[in-house]
Amino acid sequence: MNIFADRVSRVKGSATLAMATLAGELRAAGVDVINLSVGEPDFPTPSHIIAAAKQAMDDGFTRYTPGPGLPVVRQAAATKLERDSGIKVAPSQIIVSNGGKHSLFNACMALFQAGDEVIMFSPYWVSFPEFVNFSHATPVIVGTNAQSNFEPLFDDLADRITPRTKGIIVNSPSNPTGGVWSRAAMKQVIGIAREHDLWLFSDECYEALTYDEPFESAAYIDPDYEKILTFQSCSKTYAMTGWRCGYMAGPEDVVKAMSKLQGQSTSCPNSIAQMAAVAALTGEQDVVQEMKAAFDRRRKLFVDLLRKIDGIDCAMPGGAFYVFPDVSAFFGKSVDGTEIKTPDDVTQYLLNEAHVVTVSGEAFGDDRHIRLSYAASDTDLKTAAERITKAVARLN
Ligand SMILES: Cc1ncc(COP(=O)(O)O)c(C=O)c1O
């Protein structure tokens, strides 16, 4: 007998968290694993942010705060958005949540319901379809391909819009591909959202990590479209994943609706993390540039190493800290009588044979690629590439 409510079976668990857990278990069992499944910076939170959190505790910021966040944090997020993204919003247009994920979840709950359709592009971040499933709306997946830099195939997109379509979710720089959409592609998607009066969710949690071109926020590209919701986070920009602090900027009535839901679920974001976020958002930003420079160096190093491996076809991603190589050349090859047929099989093989943890593209709605994170030391990246080279050489 199923004792659980339907919503439990309606959503899938996070495949990326599952891989990270598996890596932890193997390590605890004494296996020398290299975990390239991680979705977080490997740098410590910068010291001035930690100092601000300690100060906040000493100053008594240990109580509930207003539901959408302390005024000082909403102001700090507004200041940051104008400084770095050129978006002008009032603090009343900001909600601070327990991570960008929480803001995205609240927004889906506030705006979507049964009968609605919400468009997203595969490969998609694992949580997008699940947020939509939670809301009882239906995720509609529009494919992309590596040849087109994982930008939307606009004919397909046009075909999938129906009278039920309520929103489009975009994510550039992207998890899992690391791809950064061109301004033209983003502009076209916003144009389609405008034409059909759709919400445009722009998940910009990797805004600080674009290597070849400056980042452009969707709301900067079209400042007049009122249905753009901008989601950002302290997690990746400031190496603060565990602090759980992210925010959304959008119309005030959406902020109010989300605050109502947030107030009845978590009451408010963590008070100490909020004060740390003020230091992060408005303090010195050199640390962000330093982390970005390190990621950029590792990006080039790792792509170079992967491109030397027979059978791996790896594009140079323009952002985030992921590479998303095509591994379909291994499909149909075997080792010890077991045939590799899918990206799942490749990740499983790399785990067993090379002790390198990666994430299958299938978790992101893709059937040719795997995701590897280069938020890891140079030594780990080099050793991982050596181990993968040896492992795949055994396939025939
Ligand atoms: C695309 C994307 N959006 C949102 C998030 C959520 O980040 P957080 O809740 O830590 O702000 C992540 C985290 O991995 C992500 O990859």
77 token code pair: 């997020």
Residues 103 and 13 in one domain: no
Alpha carbons 367 and 364: distance in angstroms, whole number? 9
Which residue puts its alpha carbon closest to atom 16 of ligand 1? Answer: 175
The confidence band for 239, taking pLDDT boundaries of 50, 70 and 90, is very high
Ligand 1 neighbours, Cβ below 6 Å, are 39, 99-101, 125, 171, 175, 203, 205, 233, 235, 241, 246
Q: What mean pLDDT, rounded, does the chain reach? A: 95
Residues 245 and 312 in one domain: no
* CATH number of 356's domain: 3.90.1150.10
Give residue 173's domain range. Answer: 61-283
| Ligand 1 centre distance from Cα of residue 214 (Å) | 20
**Residue 383 pLDDT exceeds 80:** yes
Helix, strand, or coil (residue 145): coil
Residues 72 and 209 in one domain: yes
Which residue puts its alpha carbon closest to atom 5 of ligand 1? Answer: 101
* CATH number of 74's domain: 3.40.640.10
Residues 202 and 227 in one domain: yes
Residues 219 and 156 in one domain: yes
Mark which of 283, 305, 337 sits at the end of a domain: 283
Alpha carbons 121 and 152: distance in angstroms, whole number? 7
Q: Which pLDDT value is given to residue 148?
A: 87
- 209 in any annotated domain: yes
Residues 257 and 149 in one domain: yes
pTM of the entire predicted model: 0.95
Identify residue 332 by its one-letter amino acid code. Answer: G
- 302 in any annotated domain: yes
Residues 128 and 201 in one domain: yes
- Number of domain units in the chain: 2
- 99 in any annotated domain: yes
| Pocket perturbation via mutation, ligand 1, pick of 172, 205, 231 by most ligand atoms within 8 A of CB | 205
Strands (E), the chain: 34-35, 94-97, 117-122, 138-143, 165-170, 199-203, 228-233, 246-249, 322-323, 334-335, 338-339, 356-357, 359-360, 370-373
| Ligand 1 centre distance from Cα of residue 40 (Å) | 9
Alpha carbons 382 and 375: distance in angstroms, whole number? 13
- 54 in any annotated domain: no
Alpha carbons 54 and 23: distance in angstroms, whole number? 32
pLDDT in tens, 105-114: 999 999 999 9
Residues 76 and 193 in one domain: yes
Residues 278 and 335 in one domain: no
- 189 in any annotated domain: yes
More confident residue, 29 or 1: 29
Residues 138 and 234 in one domain: yes
More confident residue, 138 or 14: 138
The confidence band for 17, taking pLDDT boundaries of 50, 70 and 90, is confident
Percent of the chain with pLDDT over 90: 89
| In the block, residue with structure tokens 């997020």 | 77
Residues 294 and 382 in one domain: yes
Atom of ligand 1 nearest to the CA of 102: 9
Residues 315 and 337 in one domain: yes
Q: Which pLDDT value is given to residue 286?
A: 96
Q: Which pLDDT value is given to residue 227?
A: 98
**Residue 330 pLDDT exceeds 90:** yes
- 51 in any annotated domain: no
Which residue puts its alpha carbon closest to atom 4 of ligand 1? Answer: 101
Atom of ligand 1 nearest to the CA of 40: 14
| Ligand 1 centre distance from Cα of residue 73 (Å) | 19
